Structure 1
Amino acid sequence: MDVDLRKLRYFVAVAEHLHFGRAAEALHIAQPVLSRQIRALEEELRAQLFVRTKRATELTPAGEQLLADARPLLASAEGLRRRVARAARGGEVFTVGFMPGLIVTPAVRAFGERHPGLTVEVVRTTWDDQTATLHDGRVDVGYVRLPIDRRGLRVTPLWSEPRVAALPADHPLAGKDAVGIADLAHERLLQNPDAVPEWRDVATRRDPEVRFRAVEEKLEHVAGGHGVVVLPLSVAVFYTRPGVGYVPVTDIPPNQVCLAWSAGRRSPLIAEFAAVAREMSVAVDSF
């Protein structure tokens, strides 16, 4: 049985919205059309994917499983489309993703000098999309910060670096030589807590989750006295600014920087870039 990717996209939209009307609006199709496509998919898979009541739409266990499998499948299909389109335009392009604070220029330049006919581009990623860009083909390789979901990826370690707390400049802890993660337990965290699981384990404050995508946004809110963030040292060095003080957090593991790429890719260029990246990896270890 061949699964229709269009139906999978429709399914993921409904699963993410848990509302047929909103999903149809996001997909720019009529709701009856969407409902028919989902019923057709359920018939093809011989499984009920949603439970619909007057008040809610919920995933069944089969739907939960399909959602987990459908997302990487759709991302791989999108990656294939991007690579084919790129090849059709002529001229080979190799794209490197990188997280804030990371300097990838030495490896990118060295790699480009080995392949003068290759266009090497760089793309800045964020905590939310550093792996998505690998799955959907926006980048060929990516400098990522752990922890990440490694499913469907190959990952090679490069270096590690200490982590620091970014605090308002007038915060009582801002003048300390170092702090422990427990010292931040009552603070409002202005980032995804999955990025700082050590804080999540000891937190005594349970505010509604706040997520700012850009480092600049996070630090602007820190300077305004709205909370704190925990950052890798290289990010703190790169984004030093008035109104924010940085203090080492000494009792949590360092942040691990890795190079990652899709496990399904077998390009010799990827293997070569990984070797260059390992050779030229340099960690920031002090302000």
Structure 2
Amino acid sequence: MTGSETSPPFTVAFVPGVTPTKWARIWEERLPNVPLRLAPVTAAEAPGMLRDGGADAGFVRLPVDRSYFSAIPLYTEKTVVVVPKDHLVTAADEVTTGDLADDVLLHPLDDVLGWEDLPGRPARERPATTADAVELVAAGVGLLVVPQSLARLHHRRDLTYRTVTDAPTSQVALSWPQERTTDRVEDFIGIVRGRTVNSTRGRRAPEPEPKQKRPETPASRRKPAPGRAGGRSARGGGRGAGGGSSRRGRPRRP
């Protein structure tokens, strides 16, 4: 395959916490001549990258501008609190925001939960990123509430996390500009939604050519042998009803 026969790459942006590896592998199997490029991007930068054409589609965190973007919600993440391993919170499997009222809660500038009223006591300053906030948790400065995937992404051996049952949640979606719903975008939608290659929804693979009728051979046109009828041989055709021979003997002399 020469370079001139390879299509332009299809670019997929993805925000921290999303792992697009599985979908990328399926794309490579189905569309080996169309390179797939994965572009990591922050949650705040993702919509702008899609608007500017820097990516054809992207895994984003909702909400997005639905007047401009199409979006397919994929899943809603659990929200967890990241704490040192020796913190009192670790005594329970789940906690509420009320259980965090006496702790300092860090609120990074790249927060994706959209708090209306952050629980706990406020920190003196807001960390620039979630990664910075995790470092502060490890230093004993405060706690951090984030989607579970971000807690896993920034995992440290000296930290753990617990589910917060009444905290805001974050929803991940596949999104793209409505006016650029191309065939390649439809291909990727089908992969993410788990459609098979021959699915009746979305784009389909070319139909296989119908099988050609097997040509007749001289043997298939051969007529039955004379005297064969009903599968019986002509040799026994002169037998009577009793099964004896019907051959006539020589006439006796008078």
Scaled by the length of structure 2, the TM-score of the pair is: 0.65
Q: 2:106 — aligned with what?
A: 189
Mapping for residues 1-287 of structure 1, pairs under 5 Å: 91-185=7-101, 187-192=104-109, 195-198=112-115, 200-203=116-119, 205-207=121-123, 210-213=126-129, 215-252=130-167, 254-279=169-194
> How far 1:150 sits from its partner (Å)?
4.0
Cα deviations by residue, 1:209-257 (Å, 9 ceiling, x for unpaired): 52433x4333222211223222222333343312222011112354321
> How far 1:203 sits from its partner (Å)?
3.5
> How far 1:156 sits from its partner (Å)?
0.5
Scaled by the length of structure 1, the TM-score of the pair is: 0.58
Cα deviations by residue, 1:92-128 (Å, 9 ceiling, x for unpaired): 0111111222221111121222222211011112122
- In the TM superposition, structure 1's runs of 4+ consecutive aligned residues that sit over 6 Å from their partners are none
SS in 2 for 1:167: strand
Structure 2 vs 1, CA of residues 187 and 127 (structure 1 numbering), >3 Å: closer, same or farther?
farther
Q: How many equivalent pairs are there?
A: 189
SS in 2 for 1:252: coil
The percent identity for this pair of structures is 33
Q: 1:34 — aligned with what?
A: none
User: Which structure carries more helix by proportion?
Assistant: 1
Larger Rg: 2
Structure 2 residues not aligned, in runs of 5+: 1-5, 196-254
